[in-house]
Amino acid sequence: MTWGSWGKNLTKGEMTGLIDYCVENGITTFDHADIYGGYDNEEAFGNAFFQSSTQRQDLQLISKCGIQYVCNARDNKVKHYDYSREYIVWSAERSLKKLKTDYLDLFLLHRPSPLMQPDEIAEAVLYLQKEGKIREFGVSNFSPSQIALLESAIPVSANQVEFSLTAEKLMFDGTFDDCIIHNRTAMAWSPLGSFFREANKRKKRIKKVLKQLKKKYKANSNQILLAWILKHPSKVHPVVGTTSKERLVASARATEIDLELEEWFSLLVASQGHKVP
């Protein structure tokens, strides 16, 4: 999402370099959605990947479908979600073409729609799986009951949700319990939360706790913030958005930091601004 026109607007050469650099450093999964960059990013990535030295089997591609928003690339009059069989299949096939690949490792429904019909979605997903066009199927931003609704017709292997030290509510509403109980892959988008985006009292409190932890673990703020979400028992996979080579590689080192129990709660208290009940 951050590589194209919604973010750093990387050139083809820069994207190619970043793909190769990530894979050389063990970061092999790339998160896409049809809508990123105004329905443009997948093609930009596909062109960069085509020119890279990375082979398809050395990386995993995720993409998403369902959001129809108003922009130059589409004739939509109002932002809405479309989970008809035809649209899901069309969107997945379009993603494959743009990404210059013949399969997606994981295909997600981007946001829940009040009008989604489990049987119709299952038909589309089973067709795509039978054709070898998608491997795993999952969702994004779904509640446990919305997943249960879908699972009346088709298994759901992943849920990609907003989760970070400053967006921690899903730890308390059953979303991650559902992932653990059903062995569903949990993924966290915006894993750094608002820490680098805001200047307020919360950031000051978090910064104070981070100062000691950074010293103790010889780590930077990004690594401690990621280590905080990695400690959750759902074994959440952070979807890291940085475009900086240094920050990408440093981020991966967060997996080596195991925060102590009281350190983890000190950060939670700093974020929430009050002790736990």
Ligand X SMILES: NC(=O)c1ccc[n+]([C@@H]2O[C@H](COP(=O)([O-])OP(=O)(O)OC[C@H]3O[C@@H](n4cnc5c(N)ncnc54)[C@H](OP(=O)(O)O)[C@@H]3O)[C@@H](O)[C@H]2O)c1
CB-nearer residue toward ligand X: 74 or 197: 197
Site for ligand X in 27-86 (CB under 6 A): 31
- Of 109, 256, 238, which Cα lies nearest the Cα of 163? 238
Structure-token pair, residue 139: 């969702």
| Among the listed residues 54, 60, 117, 243, the single contact to ligand X using CB under 6 A | 243
- Of 265, 274, 254, which Cα lies nearest the Cα of 214? 254
140 contacts ligand X (rule: CB under 6 A): yes
CA dist 228 → 11, 70, 232, 240 (Å) = 33, 36, 8, 14
- Of 165, 193, 184, which Cα lies nearest the Cα of 174? 184
88 contacts ligand X (rule: CB under 6 A): no
Start-to-end CA distance of the chain, whole Å, equals 37
Q: Exactly one of 36, 39, 81, 217 is catalytic; which is it? A: 36
| Among the listed residues 141, 175, 266, 271, the single contact to ligand X using CB under 6 A | 141
Least gap, CB of 1 to ligand X (angstroms): 3
| Among the listed residues 240, 254, 259, 267, the single contact to ligand X using CB under 6 A | 240
214 contacts ligand X (rule: CB under 6 A): no
239 contacts ligand X (rule: CB under 6 A): yes
- Of 122, 116, 97, 104, which Cα lies nearest the Cα of 39? 97
Q: What residue is closest to ligand X based on CB? A: 241
Scanning 49-57, 198-206, 238-246, 257-265 for contacts with ligand X by CB under 6 A, the matching segment is: 238-246
The H or E element that residue 248 is part of is helix 245-252
Least gap, CB of 277 to ligand X (angstroms): 28
192 contacts ligand X (rule: CB under 6 A): yes
- Per the CB < 8 A criterion, the answer to whether 137 and 154 are in contact is yes
Scanning 11-19, 165-173, 188-196, 257-265 for contacts with ligand X by CB under 6 A, the matching segment is: 188-196
* Catalytic residue list contains 36: yes
Least gap, CB of 79 to ligand X (angstroms): 14
DSSP string, 9-38: ---HHHHHHHHHHHHHTT--EEE--TTHHH
CB-nearer residue toward ligand X: 65 or 122: 65
Scanning 15-23, 98-106, 242-250, 268-276 for contacts with ligand X by CB under 6 A, the matching segment is: 242-250
Please, what's the b/e burial string for 174-202 (b: 16 or more CB within 10 A of its CB; e: otherwise)? ebbebbeeeebbbbbbbbbbbbeeeeeeb
| Residue in this structure with the two tokens 């949700």, named with its chain if needed | 161
265 contacts ligand X (rule: CB under 6 A): no
253 contacts ligand X (rule: CB under 6 A): no
39: region left, alpha or beta (phi > 0 left; psi from -120 to 50 alpha): left
247 contacts ligand X (rule: CB under 6 A): yes
In the complex, the residues that contact ligand X under the rule CB under 6 A are: 1-2, 8, 31, 140-141, 160, 189-192, 196, 222, 239-244, 247
Catalytic residues: 36
